[in-house]
Chain A
Amino acid sequence: MKKIGVFVCWCGLNISRTVDIERVIKEVSRHPQVVVSTDYKYLCSEPGQNLIQKYVEENELGGLVVAACSPNMHELTFRSVAQRCGINPYLCEMTNIREQCSWVHDDREEATHKAIDLIIMTVEKVLRSDPLYSSTVPLTKKALVIGAGISGMESALDIANAGYEVSLVDKRPYIGGHMTQLSETFPTLDCAQCILTPKTAEVARHPNIKILPYSEVVEIKGYVGNFEAKIKRKATYVDWDKCTGCGICVEKCPQKTYSEFERGLKERKSIDIPFPQAVPFKVTIDKESCIYLKKNKCGVCAKICPAEAVDFQQQDTIIEEKFGAIVVATGFELLEGDDLAEYGYGKYKDILDGMQFERLNSSSGPTSGKILRPSDGKEPKELVFIQCAGSRDREKGVPYCSRICCMYTAKHARLYKQKVPDGQAYIFYMDIRAGGKGYEEFIYRSVDEGNILYLRGQVSKVFEEDGKLMVWGMDTLSSKKIEIAADMVVLANAMIPSQGSKLLASILKVGTDEHGFFQEAHPKLRPIESLTRGVFLAGCSQSPKDITDTVAQGSAAASKVMAMFSNDTIKVEPVVSLVKKEDCSGCFACEIACPYGAIEHEEYKGRQVAFVNAALCQGCGSCTVACRAGVVDLMGFSNKQILAEVEALLWK
């Protein structure tokens, strides 16, 4: 049996105020394996650490128990102290007598008793701890970036510029994401295309970046450093190697269909290039509307294409590739549907969402940048903007703030005033959130421009009457009911995670929050990492944010990837499951319980038995309970360790 040293921390007064430390060390020293039981004011300090080292050397300790704060705080600290003293770090355990004892109990007697019991439980655990060793696995220095919006592109460029290969996947047939649809950006009113197109061009021609547009990730196996991805390249029915983007086919195609890019404000052809600056500049056939693909008739595009690029036989293909790290940058979309029914969204043509209004403002958009009503092409003179359409709504829509709506609504109102100087803009708002560099100033300029009327309050109803859109609302500052006969209404729809996020999360085995955004490892300190090692988050996939933050997070994710790739191997945590194969029945109940596919089969004495791939195992221990015989055990939290902690209750 090991000789155990128990070190009790005062944490100044934090622990010692409530726990009688003198009594604790005396009681604990009664345990036959405890040869050192001592205390110090601040064990985490350098003299505290040196004290531990001194005792280890003098007493040839085999295991350490540090009774102090939460292991989440200082487990790493004290395990590295153990390592410095020549003790395997996993033979050092912490007892939490601060967060879970001195801070939550008032009674000194009770807290002292509890501290003693908890320490004895830990001593019993350490007595059954085995030394554990981290292993390393080789690493594929190639990154997969999912989503080629501004965030994904930024990530891909940074990683590629560091000299590593990147595959950049997007479900759309082009890169650039939502930013390609924007007209101008706040707070500078830069032309979105002018700042975006150099980026898309750079991405497209970067030797280290392989762009995979019109593709989706369908399967991820493996683990950090060694992910095996299956990416589906959807059939475009056009051989892109041959297509020159001349556009003759688009001109001749007789079939029109809904344009996602223009958000329905304009129709497009079944064979199409979504917009003039699209990268790659290639045509794609929409299989839902193409006459030839549906009815085997037409085929005009194939006949007319000078490059003979149209290929109706094309099939979806699956690319299999290995990656060391993954960046998720799948972005957002706008809330639609019943949640916005009170605003008449989807019912009346002249009620637009923010993105549609962007298209109206875009010089390459359906109206060439003119603000015209979709219903009759007339210029709207009374325009109502409604912020928080679906956001910050606990009943309908989403409870969170979508963060960018205050800003882009102010921008929209200003663009409108520039284009329709005699028009009147109204903005219904709950309150203005303009917490960014230059944002508050931007809002004030919008307010000061005049003829933009900010109304604090919410809209209760929008309905059509005599060709006007009647907006009923409330101005809570003047407590007056407001009724506006508007020509057009623009909603700042809530941002929600892009479609397919949930599915992708399950493919990647990363969590999502209650709203479906990808879950970061820690809301403050690890906002870039997911809870799965090697999968990083960027942009609106994690939460709504503006372009500035999106780009910053894209770069941050890239730097995490680069830090990983700067090593040749990856360290694997030793807190993993292990199978005692001679006792394994081969029932593989463990295999089904494992969320990571870490249980593999191996042959042992003519039978198939379970084997844990340590690089895949994340150490949850679900398999250990699925295994009736307790043959699969979790290192560091083994059956005998936990049972010993339970049995220590007997100690009185």
Chain B
Amino acid sequence: MKKNSLSPIIKELLKNGTVNYFLAYGKGSFWFKVRPLIIREPVELKNLEWNRFCYPNLTTYLKDSSRSQDKIGVVVKGCDVKSVVELIKGNQIDRENLFLLQVPCDGTVDPGKVENLVWISKLKVTGFEETGNGLEFITKEGRVSVNKEEVFFSKCYKCDFAPSPLVDRYLDEERLEKNQPSIDNPDLYEELRIIEEMNPEKRSIYWEKQFSRCIRCFACRNVCPVCYCPTCVFDQKDTSWISKGVKPEENNIFHLTRALHVATLCTGCGECERVCPMKLPLMELNLKLIKEVDELYHYKAGVDLQSISPLKEYGKDDYDEFK
């Protein structure tokens, strides 16, 4: 991965006034962490980072951008472009004021999975190196090799990236073409099967347990690029969609409603699940609806600007199981 080639481009774009500032990844407090970085002056480029841990979806910071006149540049991965598509379709981004710089990405690493695999304690690993098919983590005890799909986010090894005409500039077009899912014919919905195959009672207990752990911190909602309502339905003062106090029996209202609210908009970026402090399997809900929408209405979010969400449309001859 080349952060060195990223820097001069951003510098140039700032200098020639194409953008007022740039949204990119900066060095984090640990080697396995990054943080969002806003670059207004070339000097700030010294903190620029681009590595296997650039998994956050920066487009969530664009949610309010239509209200400012600034021209914003943003570093995006292939999957992030899908969120941009939905933000444009939802009139949340002024395309004219946006510059999309896409970096080639063939997968980001889930620190949680690394932890499960190699880290006994995070501090013992001091870094990693890329090998042909995988990664090699350097620990004091020696090197540990892992395959990519063992440590990648599942959305990464199933990545169905296709170059988007929306992007203003690709960092490395040659590399871009080579972007392929790590595994052939990935089962996009494999996570769902375990739950779908459970008997209803077990499923009910499983979700009851999950929902009961929710502390309603709303991190899942706040990080979600397509949760762009200025005042969320759950923050309304005068309408009691859910009780304001933490009533565990109403947690499911929150999560199911949220899943339905992002249905046909959710691109599967997985940020909600990643930021959840209680590690609720939120993507399972979203993925379920992605699957149903795909099967029922042959629609996928984030693919193009023209297609209309099936929840905003109707078909006279739709599937009808009702009497």
In the complex they form, whether A and B have CB atoms below 8 Å apart is answered with yes
B308 within 8 A of A: yes
Q: Which residues does chain B contribute within 8 Å of A76, judged by CB atoms?
A: none
**Complex: A584 Cα to B309 Cα, angstroms:** 19
Question: Which residues of B have CB within 8 Å of A640?
Answer: 238-240
List, in ascending order, chain B residues with CB within 8 A of A607's CB: 66-67
Q: Judge whether B92 is part of the interface by a CB distance below 8 angstroms.
A: yes
A456 to B67, CA, bound (A): 78
B164 within 8 A of A: no
Query: What residues of chain A lie closer than 8 Å to B240, measured between beta carbons?
Result: 640, 643-644, 647
- State whether B230 touches A629 (Cβ < 8 A): yes
Q: Encode contact with B along A584-596: 1 for CB under 8 Å, 0 otherwise.
A: 1111110011000
B8 contacts partner chain A, Cβ-Cβ < 8 Å: no
Measured between alpha carbons, how far is A593 from B310 in the docked complex, in Å? 11
A587 pairs with B228, CB closer than 8 A: yes
Residue from the list B67, B233, B309, B313 in contact with A630, Cβ < 8 A: B233
A92 to B231 CA separation, bound complex (whole angstroms): 31
Q: A606-B67, A629-B233, A631-B229 are in contact. Are A586 and B91 (CB under 8 A)?
A: yes
Complex interface: chain B residues within 8 A of A584 (CB): 230
- Give the complex CA separation of A630 and B230 in angstroms: 11
- B90 lies within 8 A of chain A by Cβ: yes
Most central of A585, A588, A589, A639 by chain B CB within 10 Å: A585
Contacts of B66 in A (CB 8 A): 586, 607
Q: For A630, list chain B residues within 8 Å (CB).
A: 233, 236, 239, 241
Instruction: Give CA–CA (A195, B309) in the complex, Å.
Output: 57
Residues of A within 8 A of B90 (CB): 585, 587
Check: A395 CB closer than 8 A to any chain B CB.
no
Q: How far is the CA of A631 from the CA of B239 in the complex (A)?
A: 11
* A interface size (C-beta, 8 A): 24
B46 at the interface (CB under 8 A from A): no
Given known pairs A587-B90, A587-B92, A607-B67, the reply for A592 and B230 (CB within 8 Å) is: no
**Interface contact A639-B312, CB-CB below 8 Å:** no
A197 within 8 A of B: no
Report yes or no: A585 in contact with B229, Cβ–Cβ below 8 A: yes
Q: Say whether, besides A607-B66, A608-B91, A583 and B313 are in contact (CB < 8 Å).
A: no
Residue of B nearest to A608 (CB): B91
A30 within 8 A of B: no
Question: B225-259 toward A: CB 8 Å interface, digit per residue (1/0)?
Answer: 00011111100101111000000000000000000
Report chain A residues within 8 Å CB of B233: 628-630
* Proximity string of chain B (293-323) to chain A, C-beta cutoff 8 Å, 1 when within and 0 when not: 0000000000000001101110000000000
Give the CA-CA distance A593 to B90 in the complex, in Å.
14
Q: Which residue of A lies closest to B90 (CB)?
A: A587
Q: Do residues B241 and A585 form an inter-chain contact, with CB atoms below 8 A?
A: no
Q: Taking the nearest CB of chain B, how far is it from the CB of A609, in angstroms?
A: 10
A582 within 8 A of B: yes
Complex Cα spacing A606 to B90, Å:
16
Taking the complex as formed, is B203 at the interface, i.e. its CB lies under 8 A from any CB of chain A?
A: no
In the complex, what distance in Å separates the CA atom of A587 from the CA atom of B238? Answer: 23
Contacts of A644 in B (CB 8 A): 240
Q: Which of B229, B261, B308 has the most CB atoms of chain A within a 10 A radius of its CB?
A: B229
Asked if A592 and B92 sit within 8 Å, CB to CB, the answer is no
User: Which residues of the partner chain B approach A85 to less than 8 Å between Cβ atoms?
Assistant: none
Q: Does A305 sit within 8 A of B, measured CB to CB?
A: no
B222 to chain A, nearest CB (A): 15
Shortest CB distance A650–B (Å): 12
* Minimum CB–CB distance for B107 against chain A, Å: 32
Chain A positions 553-605 with a Cβ under 8 Å from a chain B Cβ: 582-589, 592-593, 605
Specify which of A626, A629, A639 lies most central, judged by the most chain B CB atoms within 10 Å of its CB. Answer: A629
Measured between alpha carbons, how far is A631 from B261 in the docked complex, in Å?
A: 13
Q: Are B67 and A626 in touch, CB under 8 angstroms?
A: no
B308 smallest CB distance to A (angstroms): 7
Question: Which residue of chain A has the shortest Cβ distance to B231 in the bound complex?
Answer: A583
Q: Looking across the interface, which residue of chain B has its beta carbon closest to that of A588?
A: B91
Contact, CB under 8 Å: A587 / B230: no
Nearest B-chain residue to A641, judged by Cβ: B239
1/0 per position for A606-640, CB-CB distance to B under 8 A? 11100000000000000000101111000000011
A631: which B residues are within 8 A, CB to CB?
229, 231
Bound state CA distance, A644 and B239, in angstroms?
9
Q: Contact flags (1/0) for A35-74 with B, using CB distance below 8 Å? A: 0000000000000000000000000000000000000000
A592 touches B312 (CB 8 A): yes
Question: Are A643 and B91 neighbours in the complex by a CB distance under 8 Å?
Answer: no
Of all chain B residues, which has the CB nearest A605? B67
Cross-chain contact A639 with B91 (CB below 8 angstroms): no
A629:B229 contact, CB within 8 angstroms? yes
Q: In the docked arrangement, what's the CA distance between A640 and B91, Å?
A: 28
Residues of chain A contacted by B236 (CB below 8 angstroms): 630
Taken residue by residue from 267 to 290, chain B's Cβ proximity to chain A (1 for < 8 Å, 0 otherwise) reads as 000000000000000000000000
Q: In whole angstroms, what is the CA distance A171 to B20 when docked?
A: 59
Interchain residue pairs A-B with the least CB separation, the first 4: A629-B229, A583-B231, A587-B90, A592-B312
Q: B interface vs A, CB < 8 Å?
A: 66-67, 90-92, 228-233, 236, 238-241, 261, 308-309, 311-313
Q: A585-B90, A643-B240 are in contact. List 15 more A-B contacts (CB 8 A).
A: A583-B230, A584-B230, A585-B228, A585-B230, A587-B90, A587-B92, A589-B311, A592-B312, A626-B312, A629-B233, A630-B239, A631-B229, A631-B231, A643-B241, A647-B240
A sample of 23 cross-chain residue pairs with beta-carbon separation below 8 angstroms, ordered by A number, consists of: A583-B230, A583-B231, A585-B92, A585-B229, A585-B230, A587-B90, A587-B228, A588-B91, A592-B308, A592-B312, A592-B313, A607-B67, A626-B311, A626-B312, A628-B229, A628-B261, A630-B241, A631-B229, A639-B239, A640-B238, A643-B239, A643-B240, A647-B240
